[in-house]
Amino acid sequence: MALLTPAEMAQADAATVERGVSGIELMEAAGRAVAQAIMRRWPRRPVLVACGPGNNGGDGYVVARHLAAHGWSVMVGALSGARPSAPDAAHHAALWEGVVQPLSVGLLDDAELLVDALFGGGLGRPLAGDAAEFIEAVRHRRIPVCAVDLPSGLDGSTGRAQGVAARADLTVTFFRKKPAHVLFPGRGLCGDIALADIGIPSEVLDTIAPAAFENSPVLWQRHFPWPSLEGHKYHRGHVLVVGGQTMTGAARLSARAAARVGAGLVTVAAPVFAWPVYAAALEGIMVTPFTDMGSLHDIFSDSRKNVLVIGPGAGVGGQTREQVLGALATGRRLVLDADAITSFAAQPQSLLSALHHECVLTPHEGEFVRLFGTDDADKLTRAREAAQRSGAVVVLKGADTVIAAPDGQAVVNTNAPAFLATGGTGDVLTGLIAGLMAQGMSPFWAACAATWVHAEAATRFGPGLVSDDLPGLVPGVLRALYGDAGHDGRHTG
Ligand SMILES: NC(=O)C1=CN([C@@H]2O[C@H](COP(=O)(O)OP(=O)(O)OC[C@H]3O[C@@H](n4cnc5c(N)ncnc54)[C@H](O)[C@@H]3O)[C@@H](O)[C@H]2O)[C@H](O)CC1
Ligand SMILES: [K+]
């Protein structure tokens, strides 16, 4: 599903109003959806609705009215005692027949649930004054919180808090999620996220043309390279993983992952004296020894090896740089990870100028900074800028991995479990990406699909996961995807 910035959300809002659905109706639908989500989650209890000066506050008055209509004891506290001035919010504030008190921390004493309708998409600066004081007080209490659209204080576009921000147990948002709902720290502050349809037709997206999406098989399933009966292994590509001299496990993990995700053939190019180690450990995966850059180049020159992988266990230094630049010179599809990125820390431009659009970089935050430097922009922006600057697909890994293409398209992955934070999982992801690219998937969709499959496999295993488990878990994930795509004859409705 698309991710909309608050500005794009306002465009969706306006486009819907142009189609004849009034802002007042949208606000009614939004507030009603929040009230219904609250009643589904919590038993009736005294509730405080904290209303801000804008339309987020307007939603709050609708929530108050619906909860009261269902017998809830409702207090409304207006920030700085101000009634909203915006017409839609003023309309709904006037429909609230109960008392409106100036919002104060003391009102929390009689509440067992807080509805945070202070600020949402219109937050323009860090919370200050009464608002900041109130949110600080809430954070120090154990009162359950339901946030309207966004926890107050969060920048909807970036998921970052410019100052103090509320923490919610449940956030109810409208039409489409914002980047703040999928990027940390925002995602962590939202609690559970409920997405409500408030009557905005999806057609409005045609004019907005969103460029950011939450990762899901829906995005790339139609591009997934399922084998066909008339095909054979050469149709399914050939991944070449350049092995390191000492950390031989990394390349083996990548190679196994590439094979498990369906690459027709996989070869590890091994430094000759480490060749026995690789050869002894791999059966279906071929191992070709090389002695120097010349013999490695001979291996590269076999164009049937349509995707090259450098980085897992490569070691940081001039030899890795030489291998990377040699691989880039072939124009072949390339996945660069870990040491292949770090090796260019002192001379990033020599890598950036050699990259092409059939390359994928898979840095974690530290490797990203070594190559692209630091700036205080949010993760989505940084990944996009890096992809544009490098001309390659950039997979900026983390609990909220961002996959960005040079044309600005970006996908945020949200199914990664905490268990993935263990050594070697990055090597597996690199192999999954390469394996899908070898079968013809575009670098961008291969990176999106591999990231999702990687996380789904980890989730299936759960606690105790080690990276060695991951390649063997991939078939189960593929089986489910295969079924969901209706390939097994089942109709998925
Ligand atoms: N777009 C939709 O489809 C719908 C959105 N709804 C709700 O509307 C809000 C966005 O409302 P908006 O009036 O634009 O902004 P806020 O209510 O978030 O902010 C109010 C107002 O406050 C001022 N302000 C901004 N930052 C601060 C600050 N740090 N301190 C003090 N004051 C601040 C600024 O002037 C803002 O305009 C959206 O979140 C939804 O909840 C519709 O109700 C439903 C459909
Ligand atoms: K809010």
Among protein residues, the one whose CA lies closest to atom 34 of ligand 1: 122
Going by C-alpha positions, the residue among 422, 420, 423 that lies closest to residue 450 is 420
CB atoms inside a 10 Å sphere around CB 268: 28
pLDDT of residue 295: 96
d(CA 156, CA 178): 6
Which amino acid residue places its CA nearest to atom 11 of ligand 1? 55
What is the position in ligand 1's atom list of the atom closest to the CA of 126? 29
Half-sphere exposure of 21 (CA within 13 A, CB side): 16
Q: What is the tens place of the pLDDT at every residue in 187-229?
A: 999 999 999 999 999 999 999 999 999 999 999 999 999 988 7
Q: Is the CB of 56 under 6 A from ligand 1?
A: yes
Answer yes or no: is 12 a known binding residue.
no
Residue nearest to atom 44 of ligand 1 (CA): 27
- Which distant-in-sequence residues (6+ apart) come within 8 Å of 290 by Cβ? 269, 270, 271, 272, 296, 298, 299
**Is 290's pLDDT higher than 90?**
yes
Give, in words, the CATH class of 6-210.
alpha beta
State the distance from the centre of ligand 1 to the C-alpha of 55, rounded, in angstroms: 5
- State the ligand closest to the CA atom of 190: 2
The model's pLDDT over 50-94, given as tens digits with 9 standing for 90+, comes to 999 999 999 999 999 999 999 999 999 999 888 898 999 999 999
Query: Which stretch of DSSP H or E encloses residue 15?
Result: helix 6-18
Residue 186 marked as a ligand binder: no
How much is the average pLDDT of 99-111? 97
For residue range 438-491, what is the model confidence (pLDDT) as tens digits? 999 999 999 999 999 999 999 999 999 999 999 999 999 999 999 887 776 554
Nearest CA to ligand 1 atom 21: 54
pLDDT (0 to 100) of residue 493? 37
pLDDT at 258 over 80: yes
Is the confidence at residue 184, as pLDDT, over 80? yes
- Closest residue by CA, ligand 1 atom 9: 56
The model's pLDDT over 387-444, given as tens digits with 9 standing for 90+, comes to: 999 999 999 999 999 999 999 999 999 999 999 999 999 999 999 999 999 999 999 9
Q: Is 81 annotated as a binding residue?
A: no
- To test the pocket of ligand 1, the residue of 27, 55, 92 to mutate (highest count of ligand atoms within 8 Å of its CB) is 55
Ligand 1 atom closest to the Cα of residue 59 is 43
Q: How far is the CA of 1 from the centre of ligand 2 (A)?
A: 22
223: helix, coil or strand?
helix
Query: Whole-model pTM?
Result: 0.95
Q: Under a CB-based contact definition with an 8 Å cutoff, are residues 60 and 66 in contact? A: no
109 labelled ligand-binding: no
The pLDDT assigned to 72 comes to: 98
Residue nearest ligand 1's atom 36 by CA? 122
Q: Is 178 annotated as a binding residue?
A: no
Q: What is the mean pLDDT of residues 28-55?
A: 98
Q: Is 20 annotated as a binding residue?
A: no
The residues spanned by each domain of the chain are 6-210, 217-484
Average pLDDT in the chain:
95
- The residue contributing the CA closest to ligand 1 atom 39 is 120
122 in a known ligand binding site = yes
Q: Which helix (H) or strand (E) holds 308?
A: strand 307-310
pLDDT of amino acid 491: 44
- Looking at domain 217-484, its CATH architecture is 3-Layer(aba) Sandwich (3.40)
* Residue 486: its H or E element: none
**pLDDT value of residue 285:** 94
124 lines ligand 1 (CB under 6 A): yes
> What is the spatial order of strands in the sheet that 286-290 belongs to?
212-214, 410-412, 402-404, 393-396, 359-362, 333-337, 307-310, 238-242, 265-271, 286-290
Q: Which ligand 1 atom is nearest residue 153's CA? A: 29
Q: Is residue 10 in contact with ligand 1, taking CB distance under 6 Å?
A: yes
In short, whether 123's Cβ falls inside 6 Å of ligand 1 is yes
Q: How far is CA 311 from CA 182, 188, 314, 340, 410, in A?
A: 29, 32, 5, 4, 24
Q: What is the pLDDT of residues 127-172, one digit of tens each?
A: 999 999 999 999 999 999 999 999 999 999 999 998 999 999 999 9
User: How high is the pLDDT of residue 488?
Assistant: 67
Helix H or strand E segment including 296: helix 293-300
